[in-house]
Amino acid sequence: MSSLTNKRILLGITGGIAAYKSAELVRRLKERGADVRVIMTQAAQEFITPLTLQALSGNPVHTDLLDPQAEAAMGHIELARWADLVLVAPASANFIARLSAGRGDDLLSALCLATTAPIALAPAMNQGMWHNQATQDNLTTLRARDVRLLGPAAGSQACGETGLGRMLEPEQLAKACAEQFASGLLTGKRVVITAGPTREAIDPVRYLSNHSSGKMGYALAEAAVEAGAQVVLISGPTHLPPPERVALVPVVSAQQMYDAALKHAAGCDLFIGAAAVADYRPEQVASEKIKKGVEEHTTLTLVKNPDIIAAVARLAPKPYTVGFAAESERLLEHARTKLERKTLDAVIANDISEEGIGFNSDDNAVTFIDNERSIQLDQRRKSQLARDLVALVAARLR
Ligand code: PMT
């Protein structure tokens, strides 16, 4: 069974008799490991109650755009950012028309406008409404905007007619959602990724480190696995659970990360350095805890750590090598310097002066730079950004 582990699926339910199947759909999505939140339109609530969906999803159900209480808990913009995938099932003819017109006058349509996550629709309607030219024109518009259609199926309908317009069964929809994340772009590729901080020991209880949480590197590892790669994730200390189907190599110091990286990078196709590696480490590591003295000042002598990614980029054959550049000023200029100095194939410039992105946040915004061009990727969840970066890199690998 293909997995939806850790995927955040926002299920939009619109008004149609197939809404009763959405309860089963929530269960099928959760069985595959997804975290599911539900938005219901006014009309959907005529067919099934929010309470049922709340009990099954384990999360409060969202119904109103202008409900101050609900907006305070998780507003529509947060919901839009939260989602890895927006699935509207059932998607009525009316909702399809409103989505195609770009309306934003209820919670679900406003959220579809605001999200950068992919949108999938599971249409469900009378066969005459499905075949109507207006509906077909709306679907053409939506397809051109990369909205994915799941179904409909043909068969007998609740109205007594027979034809196209039945919503796909919950299991078929859950499977299609899982496949949505499995791009196959890196099938057969060996990928090595570094993530998280390093810790440089001062004495048995103290160390030098930084605020990297590992979220970016782990998201890249998950995205690479979804894309079909065999992934080794070399990680400094983090609080994150090991991603599924990834070979995790835990390390602590920059030297350990260097040794592991050179061991695993030999013969790999793609190396991504997302770790925040300490550039320096204490020259001496005290074997006992250093005691407080009478002096007001003390000095720590530091020595340079090996540059992991630069060493990987010197391997022969060289994997396609992608570094990150975390910068607080002159972002693109400093990133390009790193691209050249470390002989990377691409660098991902990460502006760490901005609130809410970069170190230890769930979102990021970056510029992907290679020798030909630079591509700006605006703020989005690290999981989505990772998938977008994997797609960019995979296109260059091919
Ligand atoms: O982990 P998160 O909380 O999700 O945050 C993500 C992040 C901000 C840590 C990440 O996206 C990021 O920008 N990582 C690189 C951070 C950094 O320290 O960059 P740098 O400019 O110091 O290093 C440039 C590149 O060289 C990086 O690819 C780094 O992994 C690599 N490097 C640096 C030093 C060293 N000794 N060896 C290296 O391989």
Domain boundaries, the chain: 8-180, 190-397
- Please tell me whether the peptide bond between 90 and the residue prior to it is cis, using omega within 30 degrees of 0: yes
Sign of torsion, CA 267 268 269 274? negative
Average pLDDT over residues 72-92: 88
Query: How far from chain centre, in Å, is Cα 202?
Result: 35
Average pLDDT over residues 130-135: 97
How confident is the model at residue 159, as a pLDDT?
83
**Which atom of ligand 1 lies at the shortest distance from residue 309's CA?**
39
How confident is the model at residue 104, as a pLDDT?
92
Residues with CB under 6 Å of ligand 1 are 194, 196, 212-217, 254, 273-277, 279, 305, 307-309, 323-326, 338, 350, 358-360
**Which atom of ligand 1 lies at the shortest distance from residue 323's CA?**
28
Give catalytic residue positions.
Answer: 159
Instruction: Please tell me the distance from the alpha carbon of residue 175 to that of residue 169, in angstroms, as a whole number.
Output: 10
Instruction: Please tell me the distance from the alpha carbon of residue 207 to that of residue 380, in angstroms, as a whole number.
Output: 32
74/34: higher pLDDT: 34
How confident is the model at residue 304, as a pLDDT?
98
CB burial of 173-185 (b: ≥16 within 10 Å; e: otherwise) equals bbbbbbebbebeb
- Fold exhibited by the domain 190-397: Rossmann fold (3.40.50)
**DSSP string covering 109-144, please?**
HHHHHH--S-EEEEE---HHHHHSHHHHHHHHHHHH
Percent of the chain with pLDDT over 90: 84
Per-residue pLDDT band for 277 (boundaries 50, 70, 90) equals very high
CATH number of 8-180: 3.40.50.1950
Helix or strand or coil: residue 171?
A: helix
How confident is the model at residue 1, as a pLDDT?
60
pTM summary value: 0.80
pLDDT digits (tens, 9 = 90+) for 323-349: 999 999 999 999 999 999 999 999 999
pLDDT digits (tens, 9 = 90+) for 46-77: 999 999 999 999 999 999 887 776 666 677 88
How confident is the model at residue 161, as a pLDDT?
84
